[in-house]
Structure 1
Amino acid sequence: MNSSTSQKLLAEALGTALLLAVVIGSGVMAERLSGGNVALALLANTLATVGGLYILIEVFGPISGAHFNPAVSLVMAFRGDLPKALFAPYVAVQLLGAMLGAWLVHAMFDMSIWQFSTKLRSGNGQWIAETVATFGLLLVILRAPAGRASAMVAAYIGAAYWFTASTSFANPAAVFGRMFSDSFAGIAPSSAIGFVLAQLLGAGLAVAVHQILLPAKAPRTHAGVELPHV
């Protein structure tokens, strides 16, 4: 499918908006229904995110690649899989979509549209967790067999909600969008820069490890079957 630039940008904006709506909206609903049980709220948030992310990648992947994430777009531009001229527009619409997704949730739940999160997420543990979360996400994307990336990415993010101290944002656009929601899934603006830097570090490490595991001129094999480069 050969999509025009405008179609790709619309897909990235809409997909990111819907992703943030899923993440933040399920967090709001879970917090309201869990009766103060944070573990139950996180479980509900996780399940909604896994399902929503899988569907969004399947729907928008053939159009834009379904990045929904500036770190993913950066890696794809670096590798030549995304035209470098599209990198800045991709990031711009991802950030816009993330903010609009947060506002959509506020409208649906009769909350104040314009707000900022007061939820502090800071410290070495949080930053290490975001590095690990983003490293794993990009490594899964780079090494997933053809046609299986959507399920593998969704499954990984679901797992990372629980094994990382940060609950796995792994996405600068998600950080940006969550700043605008003082809810269960929010992040205070003062905590955002640390998360984004950690995510970019994790993305860079994933590219380096991928290159070590899959040399540029060596075909990857699985069970004796030669596979094309990702």
Structure 2
Amino acid sequence: MTRSLSRAVVAEFLGSLLLAALVIGSGIAAQRLSPTDTGLQLLENAGATGVGLYALILVFGPVSGAHFNPVLSFVDAALGGLSWRHFLVYVPVQVVGCVSGAVVANVLFDAAPVSIATTSRATWAHGISEVVATLGLLLVIFSLSRTGRAEKAAAAVGAYIAAAYWFTSSTSFANPAITVGRAFSDSFAGIAPSSVPSFVLAQVVAAVIVLPLLSFLYPHRSN
């Protein structure tokens, strides 16, 4: 699909900003509404993220593909769906958008615009969880795309991410840009900067794994 780069860049920035604001803002709200119940906080955060992501994909999908995620953009470019020129522009825009969204979320809840997260998540379990979460997300997206069911992606991605909050110990960041963004909010959804590299590495590993897997499972793309 041929896309206007300028419109796509604006869509990726706005979508990434709103995604980060959604994830972090709902985490802050959950923390304040249910201060003594971590399970309920996670349920509230996951539910808001799932339905919000569904809406964001519907809004920005026709303009940019609604990536909001560097590993998704990389896999799309590697499979020929996105030009490498677009990829090189998308990635920094996605990161800046997610950092901006973290600032917006903090301000919406009358917190300091920037507060560096202190929640350490750098364990083997978290790293493996991020490989699994990211691999699953990419399989959901590209299996639908390669079998002519792309119109179902918004619902499928929202549902998968909401579920992955629960079945992974990392709560399924599955996105290098949102991982960086969440380091700028010391809240329920935050991640300490020292944990960011291991999460990003795990997400990149999943992107590398998924390419031959997609070629094997779906060798012929449906229109």
Q: Same fold (TM over 0.5)?
A: yes
The equivalent of 1:179 in structure 2 is 183
**SS of the residue aligned with 1:147?**
helix
Maintained 8 Å contact 1:138/1:207: no
Tell me the amino acid that sits aligned with residue 9 of structure 2: L
**SS of the residue aligned with 2:186?**
coil
* TM-score, normalised via structure 2 length: 0.95
Runs of 4+ in 1 over 4 A off after TM superposition: none
Maintained 8 Å contact 1:131/1:198: yes
**SS of the residue aligned with 1:141?**
helix
The equivalent of 2:126 in structure 1 is 126
Pick from 140, 162, 170 the counterpart of residue 166 of structure 1.
Answer: 170
1:145-164 equivalences in 2 (<5 Å): 145-164=149-168
C-alpha distance in 2 between matches for 1:207 and 1:176: 24
Maintained 8 Å contact 1:17/1:99: yes
C-alpha distance in 1 between matches for 2:74 and 2:50: 23
C-alpha distance in 1 between matches for 2:130 and 2:171: 8
Tell me the amino acid that sits aligned with residue 31 of structure 1: Q
C-alpha distance in 1 between matches for 2:52 and 2:150: 20
Going from structure 1 to structure 2, the CA distance change for 1:28 and 1:119 (only over 3 Å counts) comes to: same
Tell me the amino acid that sits aligned with residue 200 of structure 1: V
Structure number with the bigger relative contact order (C-alpha 8 A, sep ≥ 6) is: 2
1:38-187 equivalences in 2 (<5 Å): 38-144=38-144, 145-187=149-191
**In the TM superposition, what whole-angstrom CA distance separates every residue of 1:127-161 from its partner, at most 9, and x where no partner exists?**
00000000000000111123101111111111100
Maintained 8 Å contact 1:2/1:63: no
C-alpha distance in 1 between matches for 2:93 and 2:169: 28
* TM-score, normalised via structure 1 length: 0.92
**In the TM superposition, what whole-angstrom CA distance separates every residue of 1:39-84 from its partner, at most 9, and x where no partner exists?**
0000000000001100000000000000000000111111111111
What RMSD over aligned residues (CA atoms) do the two structures have, in Å? 1.2
Question: Share of identical aligned residues, percent?
Answer: 51
Pick from 209, 213, 221 the counterpart of residue 209 of structure 1.
Answer: 213
Cα displacement (A) at 1:2: 5.9
Going from structure 1 to structure 2, the CA distance change for 1:79 and 1:159 (only over 3 Å counts) comes to: same
Pick from 194, 198, 202 the counterpart of residue 198 of structure 1.
Answer: 202
Bigger Rg, structure 1 or 2: 1
**SS of the residue aligned with 2:95?**
helix
Equivalent pairs, count: 219
Provide structure 2 residue ranges, at least 5 long, that are not aligned to the other structure.
none
